[in-house]
C-alpha cells in the first residue's frame, strides 16, 4: 500500500507543520491538501478494492496502473504545492528574523543607553529595582555613595529593612504600584554605618505586561542635606518669630506701664489741683477771719473776711499791724498773750474787742498758734477768729431773762401746804393761807380737807392715802371752796415726806389755781361743739343741691314710669306688649324707691348730733364717707382708690365725727381738682397702721397746698377758696385732735392730707 | 359754601328730609331716668331717640326737622346747657327743653338766654312734659318753615344777574323807574325789562311784596 504510506507521510508532515503557527495560509494550505489527500486516499483505496476479486472490466486492469499513476501524480502535485508553500513560509520566517534582529538591536541600544544612564548617575541618585514585595533585585552603583552599602550587599535586602518608617510607607508604595500611578515620597533610611538619611523616592510603574512578577522601579535622591537646611531654616524662622513676639510683648507691657504712670500722674495732679482750689476757697470764702503775721504783728497773709473787715487790699495788708485792730483796752493784754506763745500749741483768746476801720467795736473770739520753721526758729503766728458780738449780746439777754425768771419763781403764787398723816396742817405758805381766807399761822392745826369741795373729799383722801414711800408723788385736780363761797378749780401735787428711817412723816402739797384755765377750756369745748354742729349744718346746706339731684333723679324716674303706665292703662285695649311694659316699669319704679330710701337713711345718720364713742373699723367709716359724697365725686372724679390692709386694728372713736372729717377731706380734694381735665383726676384713700396708731391719707391729683399756706390752713376762716368760709378743716382738726390724733397736709406729687388716730385712746379732756 | 351748609354743618346734604312726623331726642346719662323719659314720650305716641351723653348726640344728629331735644342738664362731660350753647353756636336751631333736678335761677336764665324753650324741673308731671314738648315742636315748626322760606329767597336772589341786582337795590329803596334809568345810565325800557325779570324770578307781583321778602333774607340790600 504505498498510497497509505504517502497518506501517513503527508499526515505526519501536516502534524509537523501544524506546530508552526506562523501563517494561517499554511494551515489552509494543509487543509486543502488534506482534503486532496483524502480524496487521493479514497481513490487509491478504491483502486485497491477493485482489483481484489473484481471482474469489473479490463479497463480496470489497466486502471490499477493508472491508479498508481494518478496517485503519484497527485503526490507530485502535492509536493510541488508544498514546496511552494514552504517557500512562502521561509520567506515569512526570513521576515520575522529580520524584525527580531531589528528589535534586538533596538533593545541592545536601549540597554546600552540605560546602562550608560545608570552608570553615569550622579552620586546622589540611586536607582532601585525591586520586586513587588520589596525585595531589591537591582541597584545602581551610586548606592555606595549614598547609603554606604555595596551593590551586592543591597541586593536581596528588603525596603522594609532599609526604611526607617517601615510598613506604612511600603504599603503606600505598593498601593501606588497597584494603581499604576507614579509616586513621590520622602523616606528616612538607615545607612550602613547606622546614620540616618532622607531619600526622596520617585516610584514609577513599569509597563511590562509580559513579566509575571511586577517590578518596582525607584529613583532615590538623597535629600538629607536639603532637609537639614529646610529644618534649620524653619527653626531659624520660628526663632525669629518668637523673638519678634517677645519683643512686641515687651514693648506693649512697657507701653502700658508708661500709660498707667501717665494716668496716675494726671490723677494726682488733678487731685492736687482740686485740693488747692478747695483749700483756697475754704480760706477765702469762710466768714471766719484767717491771718498770718510776724513777730512784730505785721500782717503776712489775710483772707477775704479779714481784708474786708479792715478794708485792706492784697498789697496794703503787708503794712498793717494786727494789734492796731484790737481795742486799746485789750491791746496790751493781747500782745502779751501772743508773745507768751512758746510752742506750736494752739492758744485761745476767747473774748477780745476789735475795732474796724470806722472805729466800731466788736467782740471777737480768736484762736491761733505759733509757726516755726524746721530749725525751730519762730516765723510768725497764724490765727483764726470770728466776730461774736451777736452771741455776746444774746448771752447778755439770756442772763437778763434768767434773772427775771428767777424773780418770778421766787415771787410765785403757788400754794404750799404741809400736813401730817392725821390731816392736820403743819405749814401753810402765804398763798395757800390767803386762798383760805386766813393767815399762815391761823392755818396751822386745821384739817386740810376743809377747803376741799365736799364731793371731791373722798377722792382726795384716797389719793393722799395712796401716796406712799413707793409712790411718793401724786397729781390731781380738785374743786375747792373760796373764802367768798365760790368754787375754784385747783391742780395739786402731793408728795410723801419720809424721815431718815424711811417712815412716812408727813405730806407736802403744792397747788395752783387753774379756775380760769378750766373755764376757758370749758368754753372752748362748748364753742367747738357748736361750731361742729354749725359746720355740719352748713355742709348740709351746701349739699342741698346735690341731695336734690340725688333724690330727684329717682323721683323723676318714678313719675315718668307712672305717667307712662297711666297712659297705657287708659287705652281702650291692652295687648301683651303693654302688659310687659307695665311689669317692667313697675319693677323699675320699686328700684327707685329703694334708692331714695338709702339716700334718706344716709342723710339721717349724717345729721345726728352728739358725741358717742364706739369701736369700729376705719374701713367702714371710709366707705360711708365715700358713699355720702358719691354725688360730688361721681361728677368730678374718674377714679377713687381705697387701700386698706385686711388686718387693720379697730379704733374707738366717734364714728360720725370721723366720717365727717373724711367727707370734708374728700370734698376738699374734689374742689382742688376742679381745674384739672376730667380724665386726669384721681383720688386715693390709703390706710396704714403702726402699733400705736392708724393713719389715713387722702391724696388727690390736684396742685396741693402751697407750703406757705400749709401751716395756717387748719385755722378757721383761713381759706384758699375765693368764695365762702371753709370751716371744714378747722373743725376736722379739732375733731382729730380731740381724739388724740394729728392731722396735717403734705405738699407732695398732688395734694395730700394725712390724719392719725391712736389705737389705744386717751381722751384729752376726760 | 352754599346757603345750605350755613344751616346744617353736620352733614353735607342738599335737602332736609321733609316729613311731618317730629322726632323727640332724649339725652340723660342716668339710664333709668333716660328709659323712663323715653317710655313716657313714646307712650304719648311720639317718635323718640335716646342718647347717653351730649357728645353722643352731637356726633349722631343728622339735622332732622321738625325735632325737639329733651336733655338733662347735669351730666358727666358736657352739660345740657353747654350742649344748648354749642348747638346755637353751630347754628343748629332745633328746639331744646332742659330737664334738671334743681332749677337754680342762674341756670334757668342761662338756659333761656341760649334759646331753650323751657326748663323742666324733675320730677315733672306728664302734663308738664306734654306742654313743654308741644310748645317746643310748635316753635320748631315755625322756625323751620321760616328758615326754609329764607333759604328759598336766598336761592332766588342768587339767581339774579348782577345787573338785575343793581336794579333790585334801587327799586327796593323806592326809586322810580326813571330815576333808576338815570342812575344806571341805561334806558327806561331796560329798567322795565329787568324789573319784570326780577318779579318773575322772585315770584312777586309788586314792589311791596319784593321788599317784604328782601327784608326777611337780605336786609342789607335795602
The DSSP secondary structure of chain B, one letter per residue, reads --HHHHH-TTS--SS----S--EEEEE-SSHHHHHHHHHHHHHTT-EEEEESSHHHHHHH----SSEEEEEESS-SSS-HHHHHHHHHHTT---EEEEEESS--HHHHHHHHHTT-SEEEESS--HHHHHHHHHHHHHHHHHHHHHHHHHHHHHHHHHTS-HHHHHHHHHHHTT--HHHHHHHHTS-HHHHHHHHHHHHHHHT-SSHHHHHHHHHHH-GGG-
> What mean pLDDT do residues A695-711 have?
85
Tens-place pLDDT, residues B73-88: 988 888 899 999 999 9
How many angstroms separate the Cα of B23 from the Cα of each of B95, B133, B159?
A: 11, 11, 34
Tens-place pLDDT, residues B89-113: 998 999 999 998 878 888 899 999 9
Gyration radius of chain A's alpha carbons? 72
Q: Single out the residue of A754, A675, A762, A684 nearest to residue A714, CA to CA.
A: A754
CA distance B76 to chain A (A): 6
User: pLDDT-based confidence at A64, cuts 50/70/90?
Assistant: low
Determine whether the interchain pair A560/B39 forms a contact, defined as Cβ–Cβ distance below 8 Å: yes
Q: What is the dihedral of CA A221, A225, A226, A228, to 10 degrees?
A: 130
In terms of pLDDT, which residue wins out, A500 or B16?
A: A500
Of A210-214, A558-562, A598-602, the range with the highest mean pLDDT is A558-562
Cell of A141: 552603583
Question: Is A717's pLDDT higher than 70?
Answer: no
Determine whether the interchain pair B32/A567 forms a contact, defined as Cβ–Cβ distance below 8 Å: no
User: pLDDT-based confidence at A719, cuts 50/70/90?
Assistant: very low
Strand partners, A301: A292
Question: Is B8's pLDDT higher than 90?
Answer: no
User: pLDDT-based confidence at B14, cuts 50/70/90?
Assistant: very low
Determine whether the interchain pair B40/A678 forms a contact, defined as Cβ–Cβ distance below 8 Å: no
d(CA B218, CA B200): 18
Q: Among residues of chain A, what percentage have pLDDT more than 90?
A: 15
Q: Among residues of chain B, what percentage have pLDDT more than 70?
A: 91
> What mean pLDDT do residues A24-36 have?
59
Question: Is B11's pLDDT higher than 50?
Answer: no
What is the reported pLDDT for A165? Answer: 64
- In chain B, the residue whose alpha carbon lies closest to the alpha carbon of A586 is B36
Q: Single out the residue of A144, A196, A131 nearest to residue A165, CA to CA.
A: A196
Residue B31 near chain A (CB below 8 Å): no
Determine whether the interchain pair B32/A566 forms a contact, defined as Cβ–Cβ distance below 8 Å: no
**Which DSSP state fits A424?**
B
Question: Is A640's pLDDT higher than 90?
Answer: no
Residue B55 near chain A (CB below 8 Å): no
Q: What is the ipTM of this complex?
A: 0.75
On chain A, the residues whose CB falls within 8 A of the CB of B132 are none
Tens-place pLDDT, residues A457-477: 998 988 888 887 777 788 888
Tens-place pLDDT, residues A128-162: 787 777 778 878 777 777 777 787 777 777 777 77
Determine whether the interchain pair A548/B39 forms a contact, defined as Cβ–Cβ distance below 8 Å: no
What is the reported pLDDT for A33? Answer: 61
Q: Tell me how far the alpha carbon of residue A74 is from its chain's centroid.
A: 126
- In chain A, the residue whose alpha carbon lies closest to the alpha carbon of B125 is A559
Question: Is A246's pLDDT higher than 80?
Answer: yes
Tens-place pLDDT, residues B114-134: 999 999 998 898 999 999 999
Considering CB atoms only, which of A548, A557, A567 is closest to B102?
A: A548
Gyration radius of chain B's alpha carbons? 23
> What mean pLDDT do residues A21-28 have?
53
Question: Is A763's pLDDT higher than 80?
Answer: no
Q: What is the interface size between A and B, counted as CB pairs within 8 Å? A: 79
Residue B123 near chain A (CB below 8 Å): yes
On chain A, the residues whose CB falls within 8 A of the CB of B124 are 556, 559
Determine whether the interchain pair A585/B76 forms a contact, defined as Cβ–Cβ distance below 8 Å: no
How confident is the prediction for chain A on average, in pLDDT? 80
Mutate to test the interface with B, among A546, A556, A558 (most CBs of B within 10 A): A556
- In chain B, the residue whose alpha carbon lies closest to the alpha carbon of A592 is B32
Question: Is B1's pLDDT higher than 60?
Answer: no
Question: Is B16's pLDDT higher than 50?
Answer: no
Considering CB atoms only, which of A557, A568, A678 is closest to B36?
A: A557
Question: Is A81's pLDDT higher than 60?
Answer: yes
User: pLDDT-based confidence at A594, cuts 50/70/90?
Assistant: confident
A489 near A522, Cβ under 8 Å?
A: no
User: pLDDT-based confidence at B138, cuts 50/70/90?
Assistant: very high
In terms of pLDDT, which residue wins out, A354 or A684?
A: A684
Question: Is B200's pLDDT higher than 70?
Answer: yes
Mutate to test the interface with A, among B24, B40, B106 (most CBs of A within 10 A): B40
User: pLDDT-based confidence at A43, cuts 50/70/90?
Assistant: low
Mutate to test the interface with A, among B29, B31, B35, B43 (most CBs of A within 10 A): B43
Tens-place pLDDT, residues A664-682: 888 888 888 888 877 788 8
What is the reported pLDDT for A209? Answer: 59
Question: Is A582's pLDDT higher than 90?
Answer: yes
CA distance A530 to chain B (A): 30
Mutate to test the interface with B, among A560, A590, A632, A638 (most CBs of B within 10 A): A560
On chain A, the residues whose CB falls within 8 A of the CB of B101 are 548-553, 556
Residue B108 near chain A (CB below 8 Å): no
> What mean pLDDT do residues A568-592 have?
91
What is the reported pLDDT for B131? Answer: 95
Q: Single out the residue of A186, A194, A195 nearest to residue A222, CA to CA.
A: A186
d(CA A758, CA A762): 8
Lowest-confidence region among A279-283, A309-313, A628-632, A712-716 = A712-716
Of A19-23, A361-365, B181-185, B217-221, the range with the highest mean pLDDT is B181-185
Determine whether the interchain pair B36/A591 forms a contact, defined as Cβ–Cβ distance below 8 Å: no
How confident is the prediction for chain B on average, in pLDDT? 86
What is the reported pLDDT for A19? Answer: 47
User: pLDDT-based confidence at A716, cuts 50/70/90?
Assistant: low
What is the reported pLDDT for A55? Answer: 46
On chain B, the residues whose CB falls within 8 A of the CB of A561 are 36, 39-40
Mutate to test the interface with B, among A557, A567, A595, A639 (most CBs of B within 10 A): A557
Lowest-confidence region among A225-239, A618-632, A684-698 = A618-632
A449 near A461, Cβ under 8 Å?
A: yes
Determine whether the interchain pair B40/A567 forms a contact, defined as Cβ–Cβ distance below 8 Å: yes
Question: Is A764's pLDDT higher than 50?
Answer: no
Amino acid at each position: 500500500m504505498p498510497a497509505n504510506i504517502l497518506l501517513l507521510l503527508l499526515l505526519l508532515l501536516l502534524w509537523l507543520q501544524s506546530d508552526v503557527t506562523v501563517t494561517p495560509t499554511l494551515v489552509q494550505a494543509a487543509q486543502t491538501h488534506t482534503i486532496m489527500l483524502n480524496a487521493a486516499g479514497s481513490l487509491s483505496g478504491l483502486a485497491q478494492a477493485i482489483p481484489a476479486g473484481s471482474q469489473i472490466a479490463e479497463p480496470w486492469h489497466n486502471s490499477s496502473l493508472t491508479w498508481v499513476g494518478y496517485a503519484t501524480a497527485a503526490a507530485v502535485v502535492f509536493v510541488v504545492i508544498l514546496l511552494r508553500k514552504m517557500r512562502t513560509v521561509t520567506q515569512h520566517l526570513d521576515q520575522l528574523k529580520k524584525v527580531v534582529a531589528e528589535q534586538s538591536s533596538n533593545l541592545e541600544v536601549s540597554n546600552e543607553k540605560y546602562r550608560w544612564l545608570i552608570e553615569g548617575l550622579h552620586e546622589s541618585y540611586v536607582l532601585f529595582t525591586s520586586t513587588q514585595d520589596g525585595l531589591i533585585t537591582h541597584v545602581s552603583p551610586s548606592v555606595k555613595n549614598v547609603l554606604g552599602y555595596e551593590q551586592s550587599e543591597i541586593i536581596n535586602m528588603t525596603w522594609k529593612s532599609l526604611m526607617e518608617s517601615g510598613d506604612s510607607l511600603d504599603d503606600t508604595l505598593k498601593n501606588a504600584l497597584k494603581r499604576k500611578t507614579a509616586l513621590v515620597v520622602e523616606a528616612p533610611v538607615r545607612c550602613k554605618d547606622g546614620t540616618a538619611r532622607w531619600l526622596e523616592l520617585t516610584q514609577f510603574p513599569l509597563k511590562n505586561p509580559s513579566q509575571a512578577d511586577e517590578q518596582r522601579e525607584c529613583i532615590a535622591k538623597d535629600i538629607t542635606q536639603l532637609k537639614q537646611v529646610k529644618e534649620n531654616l524653619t527653626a531659624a524662622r520660628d526663632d525669629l518669630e518668637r523673638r519678634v513676639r517677645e519683643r512686641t510683648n515687651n514693648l506693649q507691657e512697657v507701653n502700658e506701664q508708661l500709660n498707667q504712670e501717665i494716668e496716675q500722674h494726671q490723677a494726682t495732679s488733678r487731685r492736687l489741683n482740686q485740693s488747692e482750689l478747695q483749700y483756697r476757697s475754704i480760706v477765702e470764702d469762710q466768714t471766719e477771719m484767717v491771718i498770718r503775721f510776724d513777730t512784730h504783728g505785721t500782717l503776712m497773709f489775710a483772707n477775704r473776711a479779714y481784708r474786708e473787715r479792715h478794708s485792706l487790699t492784697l498789697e496794703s495788708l503787708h503794712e498793717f499791724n494786727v494789734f492796731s485792730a484790737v481795742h486799746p483796752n485789750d491791746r496790751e493784754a493781747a500782745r502779751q498773750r501772743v508773745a507768751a506763745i512758746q510752742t506750736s500749741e494752739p492758744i485761745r483768746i476767747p473774748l477780745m474787742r476789735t475795732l474796724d476801720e470806722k472805729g466800731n467795736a466788736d467782740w471777737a473770739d480768736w484762736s491761733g498758734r505759733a509757726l516755726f520753721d524746721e530749725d525751730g526758729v519762730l516765723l510768725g503766728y497764724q490765727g483764726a477768729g470770728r466776730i461774736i458780738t451777736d452771741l455776746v449780746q444774746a448771752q447778755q439777754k439770756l442772763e437778763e431773762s434768767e434773772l427775771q425768771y428767777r424773780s418770778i419763781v421766787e415771787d410765785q403764787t403757788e400754794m404750799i401746804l404741809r400736813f401730817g398723816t392725821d390731816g392736820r396742817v403743819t405749814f401753810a405758805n402765804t398763798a395757800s393761807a390767803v386762798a383760805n381766807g386766813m393767815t399762815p399761822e391761823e392755818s396751822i392745826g386745821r384739817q386740810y380737807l376743809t377747803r376741799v369741795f365736799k364731793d371731791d373729799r373722798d377722792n382726795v383722801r384716797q389719793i393722799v392715802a395712796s401716796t406712799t414711800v413707793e409712790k411718793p408723788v401724786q397729781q390731781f385736780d380738785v374743786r375747792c371752796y373760796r373764802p367768798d363761797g365760790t368754787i375754784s378749780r385747783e391742780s395739786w401735787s402731793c408728795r410723801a415726806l419720809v424721815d431718815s428711817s424711811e417712815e412716812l412723816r408727813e405730806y407736802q402739797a403744792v397747788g395752783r389755781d387753774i379756775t380760769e384755765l378750766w373755764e376757758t377750756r370749758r368754753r372752748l369745748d362748748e364753742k367747738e361743739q357748736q361750731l361742729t354742729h354749725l359746720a355740719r349744718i352748713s355742709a348740709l346746706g351746701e349739699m342741698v343741691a346735690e341731695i336734690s339731684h340725688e333724690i330727684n333723679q329717682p323721683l323723676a324716674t318714678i313719675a315718668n314710669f307712672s305717667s307712662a303706665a297711666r297712659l297705657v292703662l287708659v287705652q281702650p285695649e291692652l295687648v301683651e306688649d303693654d302688659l310687659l311694659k307695665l311689669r317692667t316699669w313697675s319693677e323699675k319704679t320699686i328700684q327707685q324707691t329703694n334708692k331714695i330710701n338709702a339716700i334718706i337713711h344716709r342723710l339721717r345718720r349724717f345729721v345726728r348730733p352728739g358725741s358717742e364713742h364706739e369701736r369700729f373699723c376705719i374701713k367702714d367709716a371710709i366707705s360711708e364717707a365715700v358713699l355720702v359724697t358719691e354725688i360730688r365725686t361721681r361728677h368730678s372724679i374718674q377714679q377713687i382708690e381705697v387701700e386698706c390692709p385686711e388686718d387693720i386694728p379697730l379704733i374707738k372713736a366717734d364714728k360720725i365725727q370721723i366720717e365727717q372729717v373724711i367727707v370734708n377731706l374728700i370734698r376738699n380734694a374734689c374742689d382742688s381738682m376742679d381745674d384739672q381735665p376730667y380724665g386726669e383726676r384721681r383720688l386715693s384713700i390709703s390706710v396704714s397702721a403702726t402699733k400705736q396708731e392708724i393713719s389715713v391719707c387722702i391724696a388727690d391729683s390736684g396742685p396741693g397746698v402751697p407750703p406757705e399756706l400749709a401751716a395756717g390752713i387748719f385755722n378757721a376762716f383761713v381759706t384758699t377758696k375765693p368764695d365762702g368760709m371753709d370751716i371744714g378743716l378747722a373743725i376736722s382738726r379739732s375733731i382729730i385732735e380731740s381724739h388724740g390724733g394729728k392731722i396735717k397736709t403734705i405738699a407732695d406729687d398732688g395734694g395730700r392730707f394725712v390724719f392719725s388716730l391712736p389705737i389705744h385712746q386717751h381722751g384729752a379732756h376726760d | 359754601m352754599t346757603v345750605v351748609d350755613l344751616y346744617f354743618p353736620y352733614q353735607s346734604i342738599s335737602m332736609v328730609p321733609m316729613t311731618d312726623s317730629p322726632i323727640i331726642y332724649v339725652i340723660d346719662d342716668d339710664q333709668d331716668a333716660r328709659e323712663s323719659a323715653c317710655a313716657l314720650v313714646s307712650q304719648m305716641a311720639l317718635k323718640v331717640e335716646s342718647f347717653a351723653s351730649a357728645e353722643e348726640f352731637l356726633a349722631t344728629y343728622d339735622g332732622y326737622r321738625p325735632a325737639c331735644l329733651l336733655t338733662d342738664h347735669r351730666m358727666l362731660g358736657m352739660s345740657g346747657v353747654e350742649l344748648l350753647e354749642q348747638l346755637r353756636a353751630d347754628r343748629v336751631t332745633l328746639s331744646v327743653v332742659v330737664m334738671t333736678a334743681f332749677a337754680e335761677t342762674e341756670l334757668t336764665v342761662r338756659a333761656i338766654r341760649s334759646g331753650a324753650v323751657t326748663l323742666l324741673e324733675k320730677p315733672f308731671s306728664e302734663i308738664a312734659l306734654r306742654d313743654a314738648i308741644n310748645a317746643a315742636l310748635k316753635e320748631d315748626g315755625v322756625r323751620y318753615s321760616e328758615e326754609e322760606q329764607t333759604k328759598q329767597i336766598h336761592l332766588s336772589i342768587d339767581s339774579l344777574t348782577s345787573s338785575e341786582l343793581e336794579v333790585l337795590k334801587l327799586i327796593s329803596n323806592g326809586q322810580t323807574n326813571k330815576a333808576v334809568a338815570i342812575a344806571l345810565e341805561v334806558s327806561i325800557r331796560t329798567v322795565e325789562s329787568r324789573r319784570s325779570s326780577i318779579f318773575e324770578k322772585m315770584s312777586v307781583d309788586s314792589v311791596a311784596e319784593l321788599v317784604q321778602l328782601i327784608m326777611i333774607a337780605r336786609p342789607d340790600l335795602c
